[in-house]
Structure 1
Amino acid sequence: MKKVITFGEIMLRLSPPGYLRFSQADSFDVVYGGGESNVAVSLANYGIPVEFVSRIPDNDIGECAVAELRKKNVGTQFIERAGDRLGIYFLEMGAVSRGSKVVYDRAHSAIAEIKPGTIDWEEVFADAQWFHWTGITPAISQSAADVCQEAIQAANDLGITVSTDLNYRKNLWTYGKKSHEVMPDLVAGCDIILGNEEDAEKHFDIHPEGVDVSQGDTIDADAYISVCQQLMERFPRTKKVIVTLRGSLSASHNTWSGVLYDGTKLYKGPDFDITHIVDRVGGGDSFMGGLIYGLIHYGEDVQSALNFAVSASALKHTIFGDANLATVAEVEKLMGGDASGRVSR
């Protein structure tokens, strides 16, 4: 089977134990994760050969991040070992009516100083079938955006499927460019687009019609077909647009689903009522990992691919850490309607 390639930043995540606030913490739990590395872990967990491309400092903390990837069967041979520091983010886990908080400490991280021309993308893409990136990477720095553009162009030239998770992060676009100045040229080279209504609005000024997204409860999937259609009109190369549907009743209780539009038909995924969230960070990444697996594994059966993605990401909400560690069997069990959570003996 040909490889999937992902490109982006992996960070050190530091969180107070359990649901403690930053002000209560005298220790932090350590997790390594990031948008594209989380997708890579999901795919490796499903048996898909995957390589994560990045720039990570050649020090003990960088080695811990690389070791974590290797432990999860993610390929690391194309990681450039250079730079001074690994990006850090601090996460305070929310509960009930208190939302989670994230504080970034990633300025001048190794990948922020990556230079165009330093990665041999033809070598990286040898024996590859898919390339995935997110809107987080070009938000880090101009040079990271330039390298992302190099990768997309090389993948396009080689006929490799390119996917993106739009992932708008307002706190990252600080190097002098706005997302609407950078993202359109990158997304123009994508075959698959994943996002939500905020991503489409912030990056491209695209708004859903007939739905008030500020309500925060369950969402009518049909109202999002206009977002999908507008994205396809803006980016003619795109073959599929996927919108995740999250209804936030509280920090601990969300509804979860998704829709996929292929240019002619809108597919709706299953609805999940997630009443006791363990960790919602990485939910979108787990959806993307499930979607890539589903589209590769189920082929033309787009409905099954979408169902796999929604079910996989629903399970991720029960797993601590950034990455989804659910197995194919567990996802397929949930797809089949078994949400009992009974002990497996």
Structure 2
Amino acid sequence: MPKVVCLGEIMLRLSAEAGVRLQQTQQLEVFYGGGEANVAVSLANYGHQVQFVSKVAENGFGQAAEQHLRSYGVATDYLLKADGRLGTYFVEQGTSQRATSVIYDRQDSVFARMTEPEWELATLFNKTDLFHVSGITPALSPQWQTLTLELIRAAKSAGCKVSFDCNYRQNLWSQSEAANFLKKVLPLVDYCSAGKLDAIHLLGIPEAGTDITYYYQKMQELFPNIEAFYSTNRIVHSTCINELQGTLWLNGSCYTSKNHLIDPIIDRIGGGDAFSGGTLHGLLKGFSPEEVIEFATAAAVLKHSVKGDCNQFNESEVLQFSKSNSAAIKR
């Protein structure tokens, strides 16, 4: 199986029960996750050798974060530890027409405070097939923008492909800051998770209808080095009922998955990461484009059915679901 390195911040997530406001809750559910960590878990579930590269607090929360990763088979050889705090975020689950809201408390975490690479880059990417990182990491600080580029260049020098998920978060940085960084990083990227809104608001592509093929074509013209673009199209009927469809641009053609109605949604957080993990798995395994997008979308849909940030399904379960048209009991 291909070897993958994922870099990012794993965080403590504290969630109020659905229907209870954060300011009124008397108890919070505990989960661990983060964009790149969730992708790492997905790929480990599918049988890949995955290393998660990060830094956590030298305390019980950091230990729990490491145990979370290891419980899914993610290697933590490059998980640094230091005195300080683990990044945290709080979730107020939406219901009906009220959207889920997130409050970040990650400033000054041990990961966010990093100013230089603390890993041995000569060995970090040794015999690695893919390096995955997202736009969340460079959004943490100007230093992390420089670090992200340095690590990506080290990965490219080692001969491995680079996967980048734009993953824009308005609570972390402005559109102009993100756009400036994308101009620097995307020429180094092989696989990119980016959709219509990224194309318009971050890459400056003029809006022209809803056809995703147009936006993929324009992004490909800007960055001919990128082999694959992928994204999801979500129709929100309510917080608990969505439709989801995946799209993939590969070898100059656009491929679209079947449309999935998700009703009800148990936990939407991490659905995009599950989609990215499924796409990367299909590309690494050499699936046909149609197989890649159906697998990735099925993985994202399944993630919506479980609590927590990460996908909890293996390859055979995702394949079985992608080929099924029924939720009947399996006996």
Runs ≥4 in structure 1, deviation > 6 angstroms? none
Q: Distance in 1 between matches of 2:100 and 2:206?
A: 26
**What's the CA shift string for 1:131-187, capped at 9, x where partnerless?**
11111010011222222111210121222111111111011017x981122222112
1:329 aligns with 316
Amino acid at match of 1:187: L
CA shift at 1:205, angstroms?
A: 2.2
For residues 289 and 190 of structure 2, the distance between their equivalents in structure 1, rounded to whole angstroms, comes to: 15
How many residue pairs match? The answer is: 331
Distance 2:234 2:173 in 1: 24
Q: Partners of 2:161 and 2:238 in 1: how far apart?
A: 37
Aligned mates of 1:235, 1:209 — CA distance in 2 = 19
For the 8 Å contact 2:18–2:94, the answer to whether it is kept is no
Calculate percent identity across the aligned residue pairs.
37
Q: Which residue of 2 aligns with 1:202?
A: 201
Partner of 2:54: 54
* Secondary structure in 2 matching 1:86: coil
Q: Distance in 2 between matches of 1:314 and 1:179?
A: 28
Is residue 2:311 matched to residue 1:312? no
Residues 1-345 of structure 1 aligned to structure 2 (within 5 Å): 1-173=1-173, 178-211=177-210, 223-297=211-285, 299=286, 301-336=288-323, 338-345=324-331
Structure-2 separation of matches of 1:177 and 1:265 = 30
SS of residue matched to 1:112: coil
Q: CA deviation at 1:207?
A: 4.7
Structure 1's unaligned 5+ residue stretches are 212-222
SS in 1 for 2:111: helix
In structure 2, C-alpha distance between the alignment counterparts of 1:286 and 1:83, rounded to whole Å: 31
Q: Which runs of 5+ in 2 are unaligned?
A: none
What residue is the counterpart of 1:214 in the other structure?
A: none
In 2, Cα distance between the equivalents of 1:56 and 1:269? Answer: 37
Partner amino acid, structure 2, of 1:188? P
Deviation at 1:201, TM superposition (A): 2.9
Cα deviation, residue 263, structure 1: 4.2
CA RMSD across the alignment = 1.7
Q: Distance in 1 between matches of 2:29 and 2:201?
A: 32
**Distance in 2 between the 1:64 and 1:207 partners?**
45
- Answer yes or no: is the 8 Å Cα contact 1:245–1:256 preserved in 2: yes
**TM, length-normalised to structure 1:** 0.92
Give yes or no for contact 1:255–1:271 (8 Å, CA) kept in 2.
Answer: yes
